[in-house]
């Protein structure tokens, strides 16, 4: 399977963000990708925290990416968007995955919300405007089982263990808008840890650069193999990284170093 992770800089202009995402999907398709993955909040990363951009699962956001998947004949993981939530003050932070015909194949709502206060650096209370999801989700993509997660979920290894063991995932996907301040020390370490401990591929698609005031994202979108080696990494610009996954290699690693089988519960 060939995977493309797409790195972009979404701001408060939804139309421009979707156009940029569409261009990256076209590039991914031209590069022969089977699956293209976009970042968290691909359509809107502006000051209002997304409430005005909120839509139902079957709204314009879904239509746009379903059409892109159909047009290019590839699987599209549409990062995430602001889904209308359980009450007027809260949205869900939701990922949608479309198959090659544009049919919705999976929906995942971010479980762990980014409530962090690092004085002078990061002040973010995601739970003020977002409601948490509760269901881990995997989806079969042409025979490769893909476990879904979003950004801050990355810090909670029990979710990924569940995706890898109960969900039998081969590939763990992390669309993100990871902060620059935390990202430069934590991003790669956490991604590689999730790959090594679960013996899975990890594909992480990040937002890059300045967004709303006070929010700068780290980028460094990457793909990591089940040994923990970084096999593809984006430079610090908008663009795509294309990587082939080798499931024989994954099976070899799981056989030679059977740490998943050696767990003591
Ligand atoms: N959008 C997010 O969940 C941000 C997570 C993040 O930056 C972190 O350090 O964790």
Window from 25-39, 42-56, 122-136 with minimum mean pLDDT: 42-56
What is the sign, positive or negative, of the torsion defined by CA atoms of 183, 188, 189, 194? Answer: positive
pLDDT of residue 49: 67
Q: ipTM of this model? A: 0.99
Other beta carbons less than 10 A from residue 118's beta carbon? 11
Domains of the chain, residue spans? 2-256
**Structure token pair of residue 6:** 């797409």
pLDDT in tens, 116-134: 988 888 788 999 999 999 9
For atom 9 of ligand 1, the residue with the nearest CA is 182
- Domain 2-256, classified CATH 3.40.50.300, yes or no: no
How far is ligand 1, taken at its centre, from the CA of residue 174, in Å?
11
- Of 110, 126, 200, 217, which residue is the catalytic one? 110
Give CA–CA dist 132/134, Å, rounded.
7
How far is ligand 1, taken at its centre, from the CA of residue 225, in Å?
22
Residue pair 110/83 in contact by the 8 Å Cβ criterion: no
In a 3-state reduction of DSSP, which class is residue 95? strand
Question: Is residue 128 annotated as part of the catalytic site, yes or no?
Answer: no
pLDDT in tens, 187-220: 999 999 999 999 999 999 999 999 877 789 999 9
For atom 3 of ligand 1, the residue with the nearest CA is 152
Nearest atom in ligand 1 to the alpha carbon of residue 113 is 3
Give CA–CA dist 98/94, Å, rounded.
13
Does pTM top 0.95 for this prediction? yes
**Cα-based distances in Å from 162 to 137, 152, 188:** 10, 16, 21
For atom 4 of ligand 1, the residue with the nearest CA is 178
Average pLDDT over residues 152-167: 98
Residue pair 10/208 in contact by the 8 Å Cβ criterion: no
């Amino acid at each position: 399977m060939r995977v493309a992770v797409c790195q972009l800089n979404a701001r408060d202009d939804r139309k421009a963000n979707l156009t940029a995402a569409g261009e990256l999907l076209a590039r991914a398709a031209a590069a022969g990708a089977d699956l293209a993955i976009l970042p968290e909040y691909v359509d809107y990363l502006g000051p209002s925290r997304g409430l005005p951009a909120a839509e139902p699962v079957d709204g314009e956001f879904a239509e746009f990416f379903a059409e892109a998947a159909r047009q290019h004949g590839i699987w599209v993981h549409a990062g995430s968007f602001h889904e209308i939530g359980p009450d007027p003050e809260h949205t869900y932070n939701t990922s949608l995955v479309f198959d090659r015909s544009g049919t919705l194949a999976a929906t995942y709502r971010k479980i762990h919300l980014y409530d962090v206060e690092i004085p002078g650096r990061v002040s973010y209370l995601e739970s003020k405007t977002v409601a948490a999801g509760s269901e881990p989700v995997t989806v079969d993509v042409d025979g490769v089982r893909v476990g879904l997660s979003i950004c801050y979920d990355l810090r909670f290894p029990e979710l990924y263990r569940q995706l890898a063991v109960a969900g039998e995932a081969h590939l763990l996907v992390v669309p993100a808008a990871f902060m620059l301040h935390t990202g430069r020390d934590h991003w790669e370490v956490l991604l590689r840890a999730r790959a090594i401990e679960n013996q899975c591929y990890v594909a992480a698609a990040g937002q890059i650069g300045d967004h709303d005031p006070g929010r700068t994202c780290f980028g460094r979108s990457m793909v990591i193999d089940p040994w923990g080696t970084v096999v593809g990494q984006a430079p610090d610009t908008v663009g795509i990284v294309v990587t082939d996954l080798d499931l024989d290699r994954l099976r070899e690693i799981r056989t030679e170093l059977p740490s998943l089988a050696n767990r003591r519960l």
